[in-house]
Chains A and B, each alone.
Chain A
Amino acid sequence: MTIDLKTVKHISKLSRISVDDQKAKKLEKDLNSIFKWIEKLNELNTDNVEPLTSIAETALRLRKDQILSKNIREDILKNSPKDNKDYFVVPKVVE
């Protein structure tokens, strides 16, 4: 299985990372060498193996439905690159 330039461009789009042609060529080379190495896993038959999704095999704990963090709006908004004191500001989305 090889990753071609078209696939690299597609992954970059899905990742929301713009990539120019030169970088895409470099990535094509790197990703192919990494995936060639990863494909060693296909040597193993895993048909009857349960996937391990988490080491902590406990059920999620429930907690009381209470507000624990109060008055943190300013703390959160202060890292926004653009703010109008009440909201995060993004470029216009709806025409």
Chain B
Amino acid sequence: MTDITNLTLTELVKKIKSKEISSTDITSNYIERSKSSKKLNTYIEETFDDALANSKKFDAKPDFQKKLPGIPIAVKDLYCTKNVKTTAGSKILENFVPGYESTVTQNLWNSGAILLGKLNCDEFAMGSSNETSHFGNVLSPIDNNLVPGGSSGGSASALAAKLTPATIGTDTGGSIRQPASFTGTVGLKPTYGSCSRYGIVAFASSLDQAGPMTRDVKDCALLLEVISSFDSKDSTSIDFKRPNYFSDLNKNIKGKKIGIPKEYRVEGMPAEIEKLWENGKEYLKNCGAEIIDISLQHTKYALPTYYIVAPAEASSNLARYDGVKYGFRVEGENLIDMYEKTRSQGFGEEVKRRIMIGTYVLSSGYYDAYYLKAQKVRKLIKNDFDEAFNKVDAILTPSTPSSAFKVGEKMDDPVSMYLNDIFTVPVNLAGLPGISIPAGLDENNYPLGLQLIGKPFDEQGILNIAYSMEEKINFNLNTSDWWIK
């Protein structure tokens, strides 16, 4: 039964429904493999005993009508899980046990899934390499000493290492798509308002979205169908008719118009990324799609805009961690001193840096020059996309400007770390859906991803295009299991 962990989510669902395998079989296989993969440091909290008990409970009284019947799943530790510790990768939440469940994880359990554990991430999802976590950095299964990307780095690593059949991440500026690209997996950020933000530890509320991370596009459609829902507990949740992403998935993309934005050909982009992009265009042409050159002229302003908007919102969201309500406190001489000491010792360096950037751009005398300016440029960036989508059905770009880098390589230079998200951030600013699919390897055999960007609420459109490309690309992720003793 050792090959259970090689099956995709869709295959597992099929085999469990045909009673070829049980939930207990699947769960115990994943637990065993996770236990021998500690070197990757993917889990912050393991709930293996409960998972096994729940799988036995499922097998005793199975419900095969569910979309994820008895399937064990580990999730990013940014989702609040009732009575299970939720840290967001931060010391300030190291003892926080929520009394409520996030809507997205509740949707998983309602569909029959079983919690395997909580996965490592950058602290408060602020990072692109999973090196800012209080619980240590995560290693990528792709190669020793390589980052898995971030902030959903533990999720990407656990998925690629086959420690969970699928997972969910969150994406504020690329935190699902960039780690998916680095680890040869599929990651989708839905349209803003598609998945509920209720119970997700907030980073930048106008940008945050939950999304699926899976081994292939079919799995991605299935998981999106489960987690996307209208939720009155999230004031920006949007009430639209959600398609059956999984059953509606098809490869009929003949005549689809795909835009290639010239501004994404950035200075110093490695030749192998250029080549990857060219190959992507060829695959699409072979599928019957039409390639159209487009312009997204404000692209180069997206990252600076993001680094005003996101820290501003974060400084406000993270004001709640004051040593009073969430378990961690450092005593001081008075109330203010207690606040300052708690936050100084409870937050890591990157989080403090971003809170301070956000506080500065919102402070008296600077609000117009920075925050208001950024909101205006955000409008221009969104206008670019609106205009482009008058001409095309979807947009094809590389997911990242390079393949994964080594642990420690970019930690001393914040701006060079931020540049990782150059192709993913504009999508969050405009609230659009984006998917990264594995599309090739670089000279070191590290995975490279291509991104498809869709019109608002057209997840089905980009899933179908990704599904068609996936067949042509025929990417195979081979890890040697080097981390298993």
Contacts and interface: CB of A to CB of B under 8 A. Distances in A.
Contact of A91 (B99, B328, B334, B359): B334
B355 A17 contact: yes
Q: Which of B347, B359, B430 has the most CB of A within 10 A?
A: B359
Interface in B339-369: 339-341, 343-344, 347, 352-353, 355-357, 359-360, 363
Nearest to B315: A15
A35 B119 CA distance: 33
B117 to A, nearest CB: 20
A52 B379 contact: yes
Interface string B27-43: 00000000000000000
A56 B327 contact: no
B300 A40 contact: yes
B372 A81 contact: no
Contacts of B373: 41-42, 46
Interface string B375-403: 11111101000000000000000000000
B279 interface: no
Interface in A10-62: 11-12, 14-19, 27, 30-31, 33-34, 37-42, 44, 46, 49-56, 58, 60-61
B99 A56 contact: no
Contacts of A75: 99-100
B101 to A, nearest CB: 12
B476 to A, nearest CB: 37
A52 B332 CA distance: 41
Contacts of B372: 51
Contacts of B283: none
B64 interface: no
Interface size classification for chain B: 35 or more
A76 B352 contact: no
Contact of B235 (A8, A15, A34, A60): A60
A49 B236 CA distance: 23
A53 B341 contact: no
Contacts of A92: 334-335
A49 B376 contact: yes
Contact of B374 (A34, A41, A79): A41
A31 B51 CA distance: 45
B235 A12 contact: no
User: DSSP class of B's interface residues: helix, strand, loop or mixed?
Assistant: helix
Contacts of A70: none
A47 to B, nearest CB: 9
B95 interface: yes
Contacts of A38: 304, 307-308, 370
A95 to B, nearest CB: 10
B305 interface: yes
Interface string A65-85: 000000010011011111000
Given A16-B343, A38-B307, A90-B338, A52 B192 contact: no
Nearest to A55: B431
Given A19-B344, A55-B193, A63 B378 contact: no
User: DSSP class of A's interface residues: helix, strand, loop or mixed?
Assistant: loop
B296 to A, nearest CB: 14
Contacts of B375: 51-53
Given A12-B356, A93-B335, A18 B344 contact: yes
A46 B377 contact: yes
Interface residues of A, number: 49
B415 interface: yes
A54 B236 contact: yes
Contacts of B324: 80-81, 88, 90
A27 B360 CA distance: 13
B322 A15 contact: no
A81 B238 CA distance: 37
Interface string B4-29: 00000000000000000000000000
Contacts of A11: 356, 359-360, 363
Interface of B: 95-97, 99-100, 192-193, 206, 232, 235-236, 238, 298, 300-301, 304-305, 307-308, 315, 319, 322-329, 331-332, 334-336, 338-341, 343-344, 347, 352-353, 355-357, 359-360, 363, 370, 372-380, 382, 414-415, 430-431
16 contacts: A11-B356, A15-B315, A18-B341, A31-B360, A37-B304, A37-B307, A38-B307, A41-B374, A55-B192, A55-B236, A61-B235, A72-B99, A79-B96, A79-B326, A80-B325, A90-B324
Interface of A: 3, 7-8, 11-12, 14-19, 27, 30-31, 33-34, 37-42, 44, 46, 49-56, 58, 60-61, 63, 72, 75-76, 78-82, 88, 90-93
Given A15-B352, A37-B304, A44-B301, 20 more contacts: A3-B360, A11-B359, A11-B360, A14-B359, A16-B319, A31-B356, A39-B304, A40-B304, A44-B380, A46-B373, A49-B377, A52-B375, A52-B378, A52-B382, A55-B236, A56-B236, A79-B326, A81-B328, A90-B338, A91-B332
